[in-house]
Amino acid sequence: MTDSSDVTACDWEREPDPSDSLRIFGAVVQALREHAGFSRAEFATLVRFSKHTVESVELGRRMPDESFVERAEEVLGNTGALRKAFGYLTRGDPGLAAWFRRWARLEKVAVSLCTYECRLVPGLLQSEGYARAVFEGTVPVAPDDQLEEYMARRMERQRMLSERPTIPFSFIVEEHVFRRRFGDADQMREMLDRVLELSAPRNVTLQIVPLEAGLHACLDGPLQLLETPKGQRLAYSEGQQNGRLISDPKEVSLLYRRYDTLRSQALNSKDSRGLLERLRGEL
C-alpha cells in the first residue's frame, strides 16, 4: 500500500473536476430527463427543486440529497437506476479547485511548508472578508452554495497554523499585495490585523519583498514548497485555471534554491511586521 504522501513523476498535473461519480450521475439524470421529454425547467418544477439545483446536479457540481433522488425516480419512471447510482457517489474535496486538491492533502501531513505569493494574500493568511471578496470576484460567478463551501474550506485550511505548532510555515509575499485595495478602510485593517495575528506564532515566518527590492529570483510566479514525513521535497505552481504538482528532484531543487535566494532579498520578519503595521496606520 502506498503512503498518501508519496508522489512520483507520473502523478497527474490536473485532477478531474468535478469528481467522476458526480459527473456520471449527473449525465444519467440528464439523459433520463431528456428521454422523458422534460425541459430542465419542467423537471425542476416536478421534483420541487430550483432549475439551478437541477443544472448543478446534471453538470456534476452538486451532491444531490436523497429527496432529490426519490422525487427524480418518481418522475422518471421508477427504474431504480438513480437510487443505485446514488450509493456510489463521492463528493471529493468541496471548496477546493480541482487542480489544488492533491496539494491540499499533502499540506496536511507536510513537515514544512514554504509559500511565495505575488498576486494576493496567501490563503492561509487571509481574513474572512478578504477571502470572500476574492471568491466573489471570480469569473464565472460562483453560485451562493459554492461560495459558502469555498469560504468554509478556506477557513478550515487556516487551522493548520495553530493545530500544527511545531511545523515551520514560511511565507514570502510582495509588498504590493498588501497595498492592493479592496472594500473599505475597515476591511483593509481587518485583513492586515489577520495577517499579523496568523504570522505571530514562533512556527510562522512572514517576510515581505519591498517595492524597492527590484527584480529577484522568483519572478516566474507564485510558488509553494513542502517536505513530506518521508523527506520527499515537492513543489506546486499555479496559473490561470490550472495547477502543477512538481516531483522531479532536479526541478524541485532548483525551486528551493530560488526560494532560499529570495529569503535573503526580502525583509526579515521584524521589519516585515513593522511594514504591515505602518500600512495599517496609513488607512
Q: What integer pLDDT is reported at residue 6 of this predicted model?
A: 58
Residues 6+ apart with CB under 8 A from 50: 44
C-alpha cell at 59: 453538470
Q: What integer pLDDT is reported at residue 42 of this predicted model?
A: 94
Q: What integer pLDDT is reported at residue 142 of this predicted model?
A: 78
DSSP run (H or E) holding 186: helix 185-198
Residues 6+ apart with CB under 8 A from 269: 199, 205, 206, 207
> What distance in Å separates the CA atoms of residue 12 and residue 23, rounded to the nearest whole number?
19
Q: What integer pLDDT is reported at residue 70 of this predicted model?
A: 93
**Average pLDDT per block of 10 residues along the chain, 283 residues long:** 47 46 88 94 93 88 86 92 82 56 86 96 95 89 81 87 94 97 94 96 96 90 94 90 86 96 95 97 92
C-alpha cell at 41: 425547467
What is the model's pTM? 0.69
Q: Is 204 helix (H, G, I), strand (E, B) or coil?
A: strand
